[in-house]
Structure 1
């Protein structure tokens, strides 16, 4: 075989591997099971957590907590309960977490917002805050969708590493309060008491220099809202 043929053959193989890695960059259809790891597992964990199934840290490692979450998801949705994320499980998970098809969604600009997930975050982050403050917290998340510095879906914003303490401590998985649901819907309808804020924090609970350095807009309840 000539060098030219070897070079062409090698190039074709590299291209095939690159295309394969791109195809599986998000949640693909290959079987995921205990011991699997990588970006597909991270996406699996994120979607399970989005639906309220605790998976622990979104670390891309299919461990016992992720397996338990998969089994519970399968049980709740009439699937074979084997703890394996196969084609049927992944297809159903995609269907329920697709922001473009969710029945509970609300169109904001060109994005369809998962109201339930937004409400869960509001409930976890602003429980006990004035209703206006809860709407403002929801608005902050929606404001980030419009900003190119942030991810462009509610799920990716909420599950961005270290973005919200409620994800780290598991509070995001609790059912939302009625006021949080109402606040999420109001924000999705265009209300923004935060006046365009991209961040919020409780001054009594944070010493983070970066968040304190942001231009402050106003305070509602215990939260300061900043750009």
Structure 2
């Protein structure tokens, strides 16, 4: 599968319903293969995300290598001309790996909301293989022990050389979770984690979101 996301800042008073209407997949020919559309609202605007865009839309699509980020963005910009909407970060990714808890089936806004941790990482050239091994052999198992963990999916930008690609990890949690607790602290303080952050990671951006609208398919 592939994933396209876009983050926006909106005028005061903008509601999830307003954004769902503006960005619904059926309006965009290049997003016609969208299987699920999710609207999230940032929860870290008073912390690490202060001054950053408040909303994130995610389009989950069947894999189509013919699509490009630029073609999608050109179409979105041509339709979304609302003066109260400013678009910021965008990305088109392909799925690398996915792992979920035994009790997780799919997101369902009607049953329970969802807390999302999005981590964007650029790696130094030649370090991706080692970083993938670290994730598979240590970090994934540690994250699965964090209370409330539901699922982790890892993506990489499409159509770029490895030394220019950006990695994206999406971690789904219950609203009530153990982020910041002992299990999470352990996952982010091991010797291997510290080595990766110092020697493999060129840049890292972490945002937290809450699912705040109906899930459309």
Q: Which structure shows the higher strand fraction?
A: 2
Q: Of the two, which has the highest radius of gyration?
A: 1
Larger RCO: 1 or 2 (CA < 8 Å, sep 6+): 2
Q: TM-score range by the shorter chain?
A: under 0.3
TM-score, scaled to structure 1: 0.26
